[in-house]
Chains A and B, each alone.
Chain A
Amino acid sequence: MQDGATGIGASVKRVEDKRFLTGKGRYTDDINRPGQVHAYILRSPHAHATIKGMNKAAAEAAPGVIAVFNGEDMEVGSLPCGWQVNNKDGSPMHEPGHPPLARGKVRHVGDQVAVIIAETLEQAKDASDLLAVEYQTHEASIHMDKALGGGPLVHDEIGTNLCYDWEIGDEAEVDKVFAGAAHVTEIDIVNNRLIPNAMEPRAAVGEYDRSDDRYTLYTTSQNPHVIRLLMGAFVLSIPEHKLRVVAPDVGGGFGSKIYHYAEEAIVTWAAPKVGRPIKWTAERSESFISDAHGRDHISHAKMAMDKDGKFLGLKVATKANMGAYLSTFAPCVPTYLYATLLAGVYTTPVIYCNVKAVFTHTVPVDAYRGAGRPEATYLLERLVAKCARETGISQTDIRRKNFIPADAFPYQTPVALQYDSGDYITTLDAAEKAHDVAGFPARKAASEAKGKRRGIGYSTYLEACGIAPSAVVGSLGARAGLYESAEVRVHPTGSVTVFTGSHSHGQGHETTFAQLVSEKLGVPYDAIEISHGDTDKVQFGMGTYGSRSLAVGGVAIDKALDKVIAKAKKIAAHMMEASDEDLEFKDGKFTVAGTDRELSFGEVALSAYVPHNFPHEELEPGLDEKAFYDPLNFTYPGGCHIAEVEVDPETGVVTMERMTAVDDVGRVVNPMIVAGQIHGGLAQGIGQALLEGCVYDDSGQLLTGSYMDYTMPRADNLPSFGVGTESTMCTHNSLGVKGCGEVGAIGSPPAVINALVDALWDVGVRDMPMPATPQTVWNVINSAGTAAAAE
């Protein structure tokens, strides 16, 4: 790619960076509306309690206070769940109500109890101390086993803490395979609960304009149109044309800003009541107890193999924590985004998985970077590593033996998905080379000479992303379609504005999407602007999550670009008095085949808006095209991650020595941005493996409620990464793209833990929980002697 290139494949520097680097980004908390007042949310200090009474008088009388509302005051609809999962017997899951402000009972520490609105935030906060809430506290069900084992009910009205009991596959058929297997390897897996922690805390500004009876909500969202739909239609009964939702610059999401949260509804609902715009911004300690958490699975899995280590069947039982209420996407995460991935990159012919989703008195759990796929990958890659140990086959041989061959695509798995493309041997080979696996024995010897232990671990993973096909997700219980929309508006002077339903909160869409346009129209890169995040500007959109922006949103732009070119061709044909079949469009120029007649794209654009001699029956003025794109299938990135760790056996301290990832993400539009996405995913994956763990005590208090206690990866916890791509093209979208946002977080945790088990294998360690903090590692080492002796 030549210097200065701006099309597909160029590492174009990001358009958005200048404003972010100079402090001119515009995040929700930076927005200040005329007459704005401030909201403070009083939250439950108890995991499970009945609200016996609330005396608002003193708070209402406090200096600066404008209004105090509680759940009795705010009679609106329930925060909706967007996905229905059915039980084994076909009956629907339990779906309890979720009021924005608690009514009657609080169900987790952090549940919204009341909102205090005052002239200043300090006044609202001060007044919250005067709000007397009388609670009758109850015992709580914090852990899933207690919740399912007769523990207190989270929702009395449904009579159980079991949200659903779901399955995929034919259990009897799988059991038959196990009965005849030469070897069975079993594993218990806990996928630790995580707190997403986007660096920008959630915020919302609600505003109501009496003159046109319209509401505006500025919010930290990954999908403003979805918020408009959910909040407008289900919670506040505001029709779409009276509600504008703006998600301006958003400081990271990782899933946690997909969902419709109570605070958005509260500030929008209260704005006309107080007659002023209302701002709410989370403090970090509030984020910890009100942003949806991620992961939190407990599983048992077993693999049946023949005598040569060929996988014959997989059986999995998983319990998944839903928290106290069903968040927007929660039910689909441990089912359709998890169990359907259990074939991984392997030819395992039969698979059965049962999932029990459980209500507990904890913060709701929903999709967090990877969502279901990291849980599936972690389970499978830990299990495969153990299969290799038990059969005496090497970690790479057992994988090679069971890989889906590169010539077997499209490949139908036993768990619903059909993979379109992949080449797992190539990514494994490339990763081993990039990692210098050959040099590992020497590095291990050097570590041992210092009294340290060193290990290497593999993860060959696959994920399904570009979350879409409406028909597929609809059949799986989604209550919305998962397409994307785009509009390409060519202006008279040839500059272009693209309106996309995708939303950028760090991904760099303003750059990558502009590259698509520059490549296809030949328009200079700096004459292209990408507009997103405002429901008044963008026709519609499903937003950004599930690595779907390029694979769905980008392809929608590509479709709209095709329409623009088709229309422009008609105009050019008219201008050059040729037939549009004879026209060619290349490098920004329309030419008539076999002649020297040509027109630039800019000349055609101008003519579209100065249509002095258009035959208006055949040719409309203007050059502005829209497209909706609904893919035929998910996309299937995959690859190989290799981790190398060193352990100080005396203290349990683990250092990440090397982390290599070679991923197949399909066509790469901007290599610089793709590498950055993978780096970030790896950091979150390593964070899950070594540092991050959400801890509740038995009464439901969150013990890891600040950056003192919830250990976010810092620069000195991580190495520089070795990152590369080895791509096969997606076969069912026009760009060949797959997706790169989640691969790092999906592939890396099992590689890290497999490396730790490898490092400590010789001292008898056979398993390692996440997060592998020094104390945990130390405990495992010191209880391993007995385990090894028992073998």
Chain B
Amino acid sequence: MTGSLMTDIRYLAPHTLDEAVSAYADAAGAARILAGGTDLLVQMRSGMISPGLILDIKKISELTEISETPEGGFRVGAAVSGAVLAEHPTFGKVWPGVLEALNLIGSTQIQGRASAGGNLCNGSPAGDSVPAMIAAGATVTVQGPGGRRDIPVEAVPVGPGRTNLAPGEILVSFTLPPRAPGSSDAYLRMIPRTEMDIAVVGCGVNLSMKDGVCTAARVALGAVAPTVVLVEDAAKALIGSKLDDAALEAAATACRAACHPIDDKRGTIVYRTKVAGVLLKRTAGIAADRAGRS
């Protein structure tokens, strides 16, 4: 980082995706995408990064739209903020867990800007919206110089701060699948203090209930491993059960087994692992209540 580089930061706010993809590719790694800016601008101020180009994607309509898919699911633009999503008439009723996770990113004024796309592209294992999106079975659409592709959310992060988006690829939108009746989701997290800190454990549960029995489930944990993890064994323990104590305990055990947390000052391994099990039980309970248990 040099003085001359710092002062050469350009700001660009294209109106079309093609324009953005082309500018992003041309900058060859020197560009940073600005969605909410809640992390990017902090990193710039601290001198951690010094991009040559700031690409503001908030003026591209496809990235800021919420629409219903022909199949009955939702497509949410990557730059849609939690605050905007909260105002959608039906999204929060269908995906309350995704919405509450997105609205745990920072305070209200931050939620007005922070987006699920930014949260995912940060590659943080503790990004709040990521476990909820993975539990929801969401996919993302990305567009780059080579065209468009769809991939599951869990395939995006590959390690702390790293994603497997190809150079020049921009995250366009999230697609959430249609819902069977009796389905809902929930997200809970454990933090050393309140909302602003990074989660020590985050747990997303998405499930379907029929006649008091869990017929489908997906469980994802954040902040307990280098990337957010989809815990298939926990889902298996829940499916077919009435979410009784034994099933919940089995799912909690599966969650604890999936934990490979880093031992930083926010939470020790033992604490994170133990709390992951506690959160699974509580989150599953909330999701089941929302789905209408019986």
Contact = CB atoms under 8 A, between A and B. Distances in A.
Interface of A: 62-63, 122-123, 125-127, 129-130, 283, 285, 650-653, 691, 695, 703-704, 707-709, 711, 714, 716-717, 773-775, 778-779
A62 B193 CA distance: 43
Given A651-B190, A775-B268, A129 B3 contact: yes
Interface in B1-37: 1-4, 6-7
29 contacts: A63-B4, A125-B47, A126-B3, A126-B7, A127-B3, A129-B1, A129-B2, A129-B47, A130-B2, A650-B278, A651-B275, A651-B278, A652-B271, A695-B265, A704-B265, A709-B265, A711-B192, A711-B197, A714-B193, A714-B194, A714-B195, A717-B193, A773-B193, A774-B190, A775-B192, A775-B200, A775-B267, A778-B271, A778-B274
Contacts of A708: 196-198
Interface size class of B (residues with CB under 8 A): 20 to 34
A619 B268 CA distance: 78
B109 interface: no
Interface of B: 1-4, 6-7, 45-47, 190, 192-198, 200, 265, 267-268, 271, 274-275, 278
Contact of B192 (A63, A122, A130, A773): A773
Given A708-B198, A711-B194, A775-B268, 13 more contacts: A63-B4, A126-B6, A130-B2, A283-B45, A650-B275, A704-B265, A707-B196, A708-B196, A711-B197, A717-B194, A774-B192, A775-B267, A775-B271
A150 to B, nearest CB: 27
A130 B2 CA distance: 7
Nearest to B271: A775
A287 to B, nearest CB: 14
Nearest to A126: B3
A707 B190 CA distance: 18
Given A285-B46, A691-B193, A774-B192, A122 B274 contact: no
A711 B198 CA distance: 12
Contacts of A283: 45
A691 B46 CA distance: 25
A107 to B, nearest CB: 24
A123 B4 CA distance: 9
A770 to B, nearest CB: 14
Contacts of B192: 711, 773-775
A707 B268 CA distance: 20
A652 B267 CA distance: 12
B278 to A, nearest CB: 5
Contacts of B274: 778
A665 B4 CA distance: 58
Contacts of A711: 192-194, 197
Contacts of B195: 714, 716
Nearest to B2: A129
A716 B194 CA distance: 8
A205 B98 CA distance: 49
A258 to B, nearest CB: 28
A344 to B, nearest CB: 31
B267 A130 contact: no
Q: Considering the complex of A and B, which 7 residue pairs feature the smallest CB-CB distances, nearest first? A: A126-B3, A711-B193, A650-B278, A775-B271, A126-B6, A62-B3, A703-B265
A717 B191 CA distance: 13
Given A651-B278, A703-B265, A123 B196 contact: no
Contacts of B198: 708
Contacts of B265: 695, 703-704, 709
A709 B192 CA distance: 9
